[in-house]
Structure 1
């Protein structure tokens, strides 16, 4: 198994590298080059200021931004940044006075350039470099913390959305499966009174379908060939209760190009056709066609006769199948499908046409 660096160690390494670069820029900064030899007190001040800037960075990232900015207290956040900047500048001035840096630097410049009191100024000296550095540290700390918070919030929202989708899909699938098997068992029970051999064959077919639903679809996806076989078994079971007045046509791609699809996604369209397209006293037809115009494109067309008489609910649908299926499509294949439903075609049929990019 290849070694994988934990994320926290990678983050630590990035911090070390960034602060190393920062240290090379500011800790080892020299105002002049050549023969200038800076006193040791200058390096002491630079080292202490480097420590202050590092502490300021993490104080802002861990305390000021989370407790003020993220809590909506923007005014107090700005005040805190101003106070932090002022405190750093005052500490820098304090170090210069304690270490007597102005006089020591003047001597260093005298020795290097031969010009006495080169850095001597009248009145208090403004540390513009310290101000810019402090503002830079505070700005970077704030930006990094805000970006990390946005990323964390995005990941949390994505995780919650995935959990919501998974829960909703489980609920929708649970609504489809039980009522289908319940009504299929009723069909087989009625068949046992007429033809025991065919009833046994139907039970075997139903057990194969149950194994498919319970085990072959456990991962959340299935192969298209398995879904087509499931549809074929379903139609065969439904035909057990039909007579010669009902014509059922099923067309399938030959050969089937296997692609992963959501299991039992096509079943509600068939259930709807058998519910509304079959009558006890009127001739009718149900047409089901599965096509693969391309390896990753699946088309389903289902047509059933529009009946004026009350239909025979062979599928046992409770009327929620099509709505659930559209919802599943929205969740599983957003922007990857088109669903056309025509409830009155010129040929007096109810037509559903689904194009799915898998």
Structure 2
């Protein structure tokens, strides 16, 4: 709010400053001001011409450009601009005639013994002696220059405004999509976990109580620690540890689970629950009730700006759903989350489902930045 109010004040101040510099240049820097005493009518005329240029500038910026040029009426815009320039030029010449400025300037030049140019003292700053020109071309060019500057500034401001709007809309779209994807991932995970705990209550009540305590800690993380766009890596790793602990409670001795974590953890911000779907995929498709199987999870930090996740799990003779084909909502959306959050800053390598490999591997590399 403060920056917006400051911008609203700053823009008029810049306009006043620029017009003040331009006005001083027009009124004070005159070719004969140091050699002759210019009549008061000359300064009146200069002030009124300056006022007309200001009016023409803002008429073009506020009316002609928005209502004609920006709406595709380029032909009418050119006509209006030329008409504005002609009107200002004719009003300038009428003002000179009404003030009898030509005779007054000739008298001032004669008294000051200033040089007399053929054709008199002409141009946008004042009338000339001698025969009066039918049309002041220099005044016309100066007016067209003012209108050209007005058009250019307005067009640039419109382009900047449109660019800001597109950026804001894109950010809103990304935020909405991320919220939607996250809302899909969380229920998907908790539904599966509750089903596991329900099955565990029938076998081991103590283990079920431990599982419920672990689940409550995980729910606290999801409800309160993931509301921002990022979370510290240490909390994300703790959440991952709780998940693995919870899953181990329902596994048999035929399943080997290893979890490798960085020691110590270099604190960096990461997207909440961005690692979980890959681990969840391993527990869903890498465990067999009758055959020996394994799940190996490794979180590494080669440098403070690189985070790696490697997940390997057993593959069996029966078809195993790939990362893309999994019916888990979270797995399908994780790649989309990565595209939104880490565009151009991640690599994801997944084992080809058709390859004759006894192990399914996922290797994720994220480019992250340390906390400031």
Q: Decide: shared fold, TM above 0.5.
A: yes
Separation in 1 of the partners of 2:139 and 2:147? 12
2:11 corresponds to 1:11? yes
In structure 1, what is the equivalent of residue 233 of structure 2? Answer: 224
1:343 offset after TM fit, Å?
2.6
In structure 1, what is the equivalent of residue 254 of structure 2? Answer: 245
2:360 corresponds to 1:350? yes
Q: Which stretch has the larger CA shift, 50-59 or 281-290? A: 281-290
Q: Structure 1 residues 176, 55: closer, same or farther in 2, change over 3 A?
A: same
- The TM-score with structure 1 as length reference comes to 0.93
Separation in 2 of the partners of 1:114 and 1:203? 101
In structure 2, what is the equivalent of residue 211 of structure 1? Answer: 220
- In structure 2, stretches of 5+ residues that fail to align are 121-128
1:281 offset after TM fit, Å?
1.9
- The TM-score with structure 2 as length reference comes to 0.90
2:286 corresponds to 1:277? yes
In structure 2, what is the equivalent of residue 85 of structure 1? Answer: 85
Residue pair 1:205, 1:233 contacting (<8 A) in 2 also: yes
Q: How do 1:58-69 and structure 2 match up within 5 A?
A: 58-69=58-69
Pairing partner for 2:270 from 228, 247, 261? 261
In structure 2, what is the equivalent of residue 153 of structure 1? Answer: 162
Separation in 2 of the partners of 1:235 and 1:115? 97
Residue pair 2:188, 2:328 contacting (<8 A) in 1 also: no
SS of 1:121's equivalent in the other structure is coil
Q: How do 1:154-193 and structure 2 match up within 5 A?
A: 154-193=163-202
SS of 2:348's equivalent in the other structure is strand
Separation in 1 of the partners of 2:117 and 2:358? 104
1:323 offset after TM fit, Å?
2.9
In structure 1, what is the equivalent of residue 317 of structure 2? Answer: 308
In structure 2, what is the equivalent of residue 328 of structure 1? Answer: 337
In structure 2, what is the equivalent of residue 32 of structure 1? Answer: 32
Residue pair 1:269, 1:321 contacting (<8 A) in 2 also: no
In structure 1, what is the equivalent of residue 298 of structure 2? Answer: 289
SS of 1:256's equivalent in the other structure is coil
Q: Structure 1 residues 126, 31: closer, same or farther in 2, change over 3 A?
A: farther
CA RMSD, Structure 1 to Structure 2 (Å): 2.1
Separation in 2 of the partners of 1:83 and 1:4? 37
1:325-346 Cα offsets, whole Å, 9 max, x none, are 1111111111111111123577
1:320 offset after TM fit, Å?
3.3
Dislocated runs of 4+, deviation >4 Å: 2-5, 114-118, 344-347
Q: How many residues are aligned here? A: 353
Separation in 2 of the partners of 1:31 and 1:214? 75
1:32 offset after TM fit, Å?
1.9
Separation in 1 of the partners of 2:134 and 2:319? 97
SS of 2:362's equivalent in the other structure is strand
